[in-house]
Amino acid sequence: MRGAKNLHKQPILLCDFLTFLMKKYLAIIFAVLVLISQLSCDAPRLNPLDPSSPDYKLTSIEGTIKTTALPQQPIAGVKVFWKDKNLTVQTDQNGYYKLDELVMNDGILIFEKDGYSKDSVRIVWAGQKNKREDVSLNAIPQINKFNLFTIVQNRYADVQDSRLNGQVSISDPDNTIDTVYLKCDELAFSKKLSFSPVLNMFEGSFTPADLNVTSLDIVIGKKFELVTIDNTHKAFLTGSTNVMRIIKQEVIIREPLNKISVNTKPVLKWYRFLPGFNFKYKVEIYTDELVPQPIWDKENISKEDVETTPDFDLSPGEYYWVVWAVDDFQNRCRSKPASFVVK
């Protein structure tokens, strides 16, 4: 009877033992899970593919590109080039750009768009995972008008004075133009142009000696470039042109001349000029004194005409007049002066 009682208790003890083991293992598993959870929250992340890891090597650059001119406006379509990875993106309509998944190597970021000065910045990561580079681009000055022409003036004793004249009108949205130069590398020539408030243009007049030549004929066909420099000393190659012609033929005055007496509206006559190219005449009258004063002029006279008359009465006094021939490129030659007296 006692043996049967012990046999009846053995299955109960085995069951209790198994229950005890299960509870113990569950406690161990729970403790491990808690430990893993704590480690995952607080321990340094060592996975190089995890963006939060200090060993994560992929980075990004973003920023906005605007005009230098105030008020600043975003510039769309700017090419942003990351030289280290040969990667290019473009700014959106808000001027925003972003380059993702870059390896953390220092390098050059280049900004480029037609009509604007190319710019660049050096990116030094210094452990930073993200960089922001906001940039303003300077608009390249635009040429409105660029005239480069020769002037030949005939004087008595058959002397010809020749010069090269430059006139240029430039618009600059940034209003930062400081200096404008005319240069010709082939002639080792570079001269500053002066601003004329009257003409609202930059201009300059240069002798053969200024141009490092013995004769103005040498400049024909040479390439002359216009360089503008802004107030930050940045230089822009704004445009180029060349000299087309030098008019050495002379327009000959017919009458009046040699201080002949005339009425208050003299008829000014000259011999027909036949240079072999298209041109127009220009006539000027000056006072004949130590410092001549311009009195009257007329431009765009047809090449078929050989005379003209002032459109008002001249006051009594001594005068001289000249005739210019001006071609389609503004190259020009001037006659010898001829004098007359109004009684």
Identify the pLDDT of residue 128: 87
Question: What residue ranges of the chain have pLDDT lower than 70?
Answer: 1-27, 29-57
Strands 332-334 and 142-155: parallel
Identify the pLDDT of residue 85: 83
Tokens found for residue 197: 């408030």
Identify the pLDDT of residue 86: 87
Of 61, 86, 178, 77, which is closest to residue 137 (Cα–Cα)?
77
Helix (H, G, I), strand (E, B) or coil at 218: helix
The letter for the amino acid at 275 is P
Placement of tokens 């103005």 in the chain: 216
Are the C-beta atoms of 206 and 163 separated by less than 8 Å?
Answer: yes
Beta pairing partners, 10: none
Identify the pLDDT of residue 232: 82
Identify the pLDDT of residue 9: 47
Beta pairing partners, 229: 179, 235
Identify the pLDDT of residue 54: 52
Identify the pLDDT of residue 3: 45
**Rounded distance between C-alpha atoms, residue 273 and residue 281, angstroms:** 9
Identify the pLDDT of residue 148: 97
pLDDT digits (tens, 9 = 90+) for 264-318: 999 999 999 999 999 999 999 999 999 999 999 999 999 999 999 999 999 999 9
Identify the pLDDT of residue 335: 98
Identify the pLDDT of residue 129: 82
Tokens found for residue 111: 């900004």
Positive or negative: CA dihedral 174, 176, 179, 185: negative
